[in-house]
Amino acid sequence: MADIKTQDTKDLQKAVADNREALRVLRFGGAGSRSRDVRATRMLRRQTARVLTEIRARDLASKGKKA
């Protein structure tokens, strides 16, 4: 993923949705199989958290400018 700080907020929200869908597929797609890639799951969760943190920071910054 490109630098998070330079992306548009709508692109970030789309990235969160894509990451969550990929995480869902990883969790439930291979139900019962033991060949899950634990690292991929961890990286998706972390990337989602980074994007959500940036979205929240932008939201707080915009609210601070309005007040």
Domain assignment of residue 12, yes or no: yes
Residue 9 has what pLDDT? Answer: 93
Range in 13-17, 44-48, 62-66 with the lowest mean pLDDT = 62-66
Residue 31 lies in a domain: no
State the pLDDT at residue 27. 85
Contact yes or no for 17/10 (Cβ under 8 A): no
pLDDT at 66: 72
Rounded Cα distance, 32 and 5, in Å: 38
pTM tops 0.85, yes or no: no
Name the residue with higher pLDDT: 46 or 30. 46
Task: Give me the domain span that covers residue 53.
Answer: 7-25+37-66
Per the structure, the count of domains in the chain is: 1
Residue 67 has pLDDT above 70, yes or no: no
Q: Residue 13: inside a domain, yes or no?
A: yes
CB 41 within 8 A of CB 23: yes
Comparison of pLDDT for 25 and 65, the residue scoring more:
25
Give the C-alpha separation, 22 to 16, whole Å.
10
Q: Is 1 a domain residue?
A: no
